Amino acid sequence: MMFIWIVFIGIAVISYLVQASLKSKFERYSKIPVAAGMTGREVAEKMLRDNGIYDVRVISTPGMLTDHYNPTNKTVNLSDDVYNTCSVAAAAVAAHECGHAVQHARAYAPLQMRSALVPVVQFSSSIVSWVLLAGIVLVNVFPQLLLIGICLFAMTTLFSFITLPVEIDASRRALVWLNTAGITNSASHKQAADALKSAAYTYVVAALGSLATLIYYVMIYMNRRE
């Protein structure tokens, strides 16, 4: 158990450092304009058109780093700073989210798998904490309850790991298009790649943290059964 707590602390420290680095880089790259002089909205709309996608809308959404693609209503949602700003960070984020729209249009398998898991993960997340808590309390009389909780949590862990190739591929598509479309030049392209790489690290840390938590609950289940 001591080892798993060391892992938890290590992941927490790494997560803090990754988040701090991501925030710092996006603040810095948000002040550097792209040579094309296009806002995030314009970048997104052009990438969609260049990929033959005309049924996806680009809209603004409140908040910071709230950018996402919604496959249900086919919208690329960009935070206000990204939507209205001409910067390396805005272009990178907008192109990344459009990368998900391209994945959707091309029936990218990992995205389809992640989308199929969304209802299951939403249900699991809504009850898993209570099931795990009750399972730990009642493990000696009803160990199956903790096992159910572990299975529910495993779905969220699986979702975290399936998310990794989805996010990495979206960034790859974004960077290739930014370069070929002439949105970025040699200097700003490296900055866009750096920003997206930092964002990808947050998903890696989240997946590892979820896996460590899953292992922790499995160890409780195995130790309490002995």
Those residues with Cβ within 8 angstroms of residue 73's Cβ, 6 or more apart along the chain or in another chain: none
Torsion, Cα 44 50 56 61, to 10 degrees, reads 0
Is 191 a residue whose pLDDT tops 90?
yes
Choosing from 27, 42, 45, 97, which is the catalytic residue?
97
Q: Is 45 a catalytic residue?
A: no
Task: Please state the rounded mean pLDDT for residues 40-63.
Answer: 96
pLDDT tens-digit map of 100-145: 999 999 999 999 999 999 999 999 999 999 999 999 999 888 889 9
Tokens 């792209």 belong to residue: 34
Instruction: Using alpha carbons only, give the angle 43, 47, 51 rounded to the nearest 5 degrees.
Output: 170
In this structure, what token pair is assigned to residue 34?
């792209």
pTM value? 0.88
More confident residue, 175 or 64: 175
Do the Cβ atoms of 41 and 57 come closer than 8 Å? no
CA distance 224 to 59: 51
- Reported as a pLDDT band with limits 50, 70 and 90, residue 1 is low
Q: Is the separation of the CB atoms in 221 and 143 below 8 Å?
A: yes
* Rg, C-alpha atoms of the chain: 20
Across 98-120, b (16+ Cβ under 10 Å) vs e yields: bbbbbbbbeebebbeebeebeee
Asked if the model's pLDDT at residue 226 lies above 80, the reply is: no
Residue 26: the pLDDT is: 87
Q: Give percent above pLDDT 70 in the chain.
A: 98
